[in-house]
Every structure is written in structure tokens, then in C-alpha cells.
Amino acid sequence: MLRALLLLIALVVPAQAEEVVVGLSQNRIAITTNFDGSEILIFGAVKREEAISDDHPLQIVLAVAGPSEPVNVRRKARRFGIWVNTDTIEVDRAPSFYAVATSDDWTKVITDTEDLRHHISIRRAIRSVGATMAGSEDFTEALIRIREGKALYQTNIGSISFEEQTLFSTSVRLPANLTEGDYTARFFLTRDGAVVDSYETVIAVQKVGLERFLFRLSREQPLIYGLMSIAIAIFAGWGASAAFRLVRN
């Protein structure tokens, strides 16, 4: 009975003509004291049941996103000789890290409709529903510009090597100032700007060792963390003073 049911499903559901298969050099990043960033090598292939079409070539789009969080974006202005915050907009959700890579020019690999549907580009990945004031787009652009300067937002057009519409490879550089959490890597196989297939996987970014202990302590026991920080500061100050007196004498 079960075998007959599986055969019926196979007959009803058509086989997918083209499918993207992906592998990562690592799916877990450990943040330690001397962590200065990491690089993930990405490689994959297109599994197909039909011949390669030269008239309508395939393309690859990659999007790696860190944990999303609300962000307050403020505009500063000079008032009476000092800089003060004048306007503030809360972005409902913005990824802490976001990298986009493509196998060709952006307009060749994805249409605006598909970008809107899958939220692939950096601007589409940022959710700012509540920003209704005039000029709110300037705040979003400022957020993108600031995080691009810190290498937290990256757009790498044409950085994916795609050989014979079958094998592809690229790399994503993760900076040192990463937020802990699950990072989602999404792969889109497109033709004529339309998504043919997609694949998604998770990269775990975690603090380990002493960093993990202090991070969890600051979140779960903030009072103990604060008292411990004060004690360490007092001890460090006393030790520096004692060492200075010893050297002077």
C-alpha cells in the first residue's frame, strides 16, 4: 500500500528540471578572544534533467543574513554650537550582517519583482514599515552606508564564478564584529531574472570559552556581571597604583 502511494505521488508531482546543490567549507563559526573574522568558502553545482540552454543561461544569487533586530536611526544637527539628535526613526528589522553575491550584473540575475518577493537585496532585507515621515528613506540609506563602512553589509556583484552553468564557487568574508546567532545562507538559481530553484542553510556563530561565559552572564545575571565588573576595575586600579609606587621607589 505504501509503495503504491509513493508511486502515485511520483506520478502526480513533476520532477524538478534544475536544482541547486550547495556545500560550505564550515557551518559553525567560533568567536574567541583573538577572533579577527573568518572566510567561508562556498561551492556547488546545478543538478539538471534537461540540456543546458545557451539562449536562456542560468545565474546564481547568494544572500547571507545575520540575526535581525530593531534599530533606532538618528539624525544629528548642529544646534547652538553642539551636535544634537533632531530626528529618529525606528527600523522594525535590520539584519546585523548581510552579504549579497551574484554571478553577473544585478539586472541580469534577478528581476525587481523576484527581489521584492524573496527580499534578496540589502534594501529589501531591511524592514521599515513604521518609518512614515518624509525623508525616511534617507535614514535607511544612512544605516546601510554606516554598516557598509564596517563591512557588515556587503554587495559583491559578479563575484560568483559560474562555470558552464553547472559548477559555481565564491567566498564570503565575515568581519570580526559579528553578532552571535544563526546566520542564514540562501541560494537562488535564476533564469531570465526569475527564480528557478532555491536552497537555504544555517551557519551558527557562537562565542566560546570565557567570551561565552561573560556574554551569558551579562544577559542572564546582569547584577552579578555588574558587580564583578566593578570589582575587576577596582582591583586593576589598585594593582596599577601599587606597581607605579613600586617603580617610583
Q: What is the pLDDT of residue 60?
A: 95
Instruction: Give Cα separations from 24 to 38, 60, 137, 201 (angstroms).
Output: 13, 15, 35, 9
CA 15-17-21 angle, 5° bins: 100
236 is a domain residue: yes
Q: What is the pLDDT of residue 87?
A: 67
Query: How many domains, in total, are found in the chain?
Result: 2
Do residues 230 and 186 both lie within one domain? no
* Concatenated DSSP letters of 6-63: HHHHHHHSPPPSEEEEEEES-SEEEE-TT---EEEEEEEEEEESSPPPSSS-EEEEEE
- Global pTM value: 0.73
Do residues 192 and 136 both lie within one domain? yes
Do residues 165 and 233 both lie within one domain? no
Mean pLDDT by 10 residues, the chain (249 residues): 42 60 86 80 87 82 92 70 66 90 94 94 80 63 89 94 91 89 94 93 78 59 69 74 70
Phi, psi of 41 (to 5 degrees): -90, 130
130 is a domain residue: yes
248 is a domain residue: yes
Do residues 140 and 89 both lie within one domain? yes
Q: What is the pLDDT of residue 26?
A: 84
Q: What is the pLDDT of residue 2?
A: 39
**Best CA proximity match to 186, nearest among 173, 198, 204:** 198
Do residues 234 and 178 both lie within one domain? no
3-state class (DSSP) for residue 217: helix
Q: Domain range holding 26?
A: 14-208
Q: What is the pLDDT of residue 140?
A: 82
**CATH code, 161:** 2.60.40.3880
2 is a domain residue: no
